[in-house]
Structure 1
Amino acid sequence: MTDHADTRYHLAQFNVATLHAPLDDPRTADFVALLDPVNALADAAPGFVWRLVEEGMPDATGIRPAGQDVIINFSVWESTEALWDFAYRSPHLEPLRRRREWFKRHVDAHSVMWWIPAGHVPTVDEAMERLALIREHGPTPRGFTFSSAYAAEEAMQASTS
């Protein structure tokens, strides 16, 4: 994956996960125990810019815009390479491999990425809109995945035309 980061833009990523059991259930205890270490890993990762946290909390697990049994993850990265390296080339990979223990399989798209101007802090409403777009239309410059990624310049031109 070659990304040639354009410093004018950052990559927003949003994903949803439907829990098998509530976060206070013993079946999700391992996942809950991994939240702080994985979030700290993200915060320190090269290319990390921002992640959503609930006010007064260390994470966003209490924010439930997609339903009471659905948790979200929302962050911004300098490039697709930076996000890829964190997701698949760091200790984050081990919890990712275990996701089926804690989360149901999604029939619809459960993640989306899109380019934003550097310095823009995307909103949950914006993320939910982008997720709806990819679910309805598939990958486009306005919402894509690693396997269907668009370059920042291409995506930004498409969104203004």
Structure 2
Amino acid sequence: MSHFHLAQLNIAKAKDELTSIVMKGFVDRLNEINALADDSLGFVWRLQTEEGDATSFKIFDDPSLILNMSVWESIESLRNYVYKSVHVELIRGKNEWFHKMNTPHQVLWHVPVGHIPTVREGEARLLHLEEHGPTEHAFTFAKPYIK
């Protein structure tokens, strides 16, 4: 049994306010997609408010950035949720709601079992990935680091 879980942070730059018609297709699916994560094999934790989402959390002092952060038992469990579930439909539709980013928008890293990462921790990992590329400290699905 591993003494580590996998944390992930992803960000997206919204094309408009969450209350806009532009963002409606994304916002309308948030509860469904969050519930899917909560019920997925290997899911441990996700950043959320009392309302159950993370849209009010901010990162990099940019109000147009939406973030998602979660912890999973393994990279395989996260990969299954992201790419082999209904979640992939949101990935396919991302160009409707979000601007293309020229910097890394997702980072993965290991955390000790029981550790709940903070937004600032995720922000630092994403910056590390941008500055140094994939390492043991901050990596990607394409270039994972397995503990």
TM range (shorter): over 0.9
Q: Give the secondary structure class of the aligned counterpart of 2:123.
A: helix
Specify the alignment match of 2:114 in structure 1.
Answer: 119
Q: Check if 1:59 corresponds to 2:53.
A: yes
Aligned-partner residue type, residue 86 of structure 1: Y
Aligned-partner residue type, residue 42 of structure 1: A
Structure with greater helix percent: 1
Deviating above 3 A after TM superposition, structure 1's stretches of 4 or more consecutive aligned residues are none
Provide TM-score, normalisation by structure 2: 0.97
CA distance in structure 2 between the aligned counterparts of 1:34 and 1:96, rounded to whole angstroms: 12
Specify the alignment match of 1:36 in structure 2.
Answer: 31
- Select 2:123's aligned residue among 93, 106, 128: 128
CA distance in structure 2 between the aligned counterparts of 1:149 and 1:33, rounded to whole angstroms: 32
Aligned-partner residue type, residue 20 of structure 1: K
Counting aligned pairs with the same residue, the percent is 42
Segments of 5+ residues of structure 1 without an aligned counterpart are 1-5, 153-161
How many residue pairs end up in the alignment? 146
Asked which structure has the greater CA Rg, the reply is 1
Equivalent runs, 1:8-157 vs 2, <5 Å: 8-54=3-49, 56-66=50-60, 67-152=62-147
Segments of 5+ residues of structure 2 without an aligned counterpart are none
CA distance in structure 2 between the aligned counterparts of 1:52 and 1:100, rounded to whole angstroms: 24
Provide TM-score, normalisation by structure 1: 0.89
CA distance in structure 2 between the aligned counterparts of 1:59 and 1:7, rounded to whole angstroms: 29
Summarize deviations over 1:82-126 as a string: whole Å, max 9, x none.
000000001111111101110011101011000010001111111
CA distance in structure 2 between the aligned counterparts of 1:10 and 1:104, rounded to whole angstroms: 30
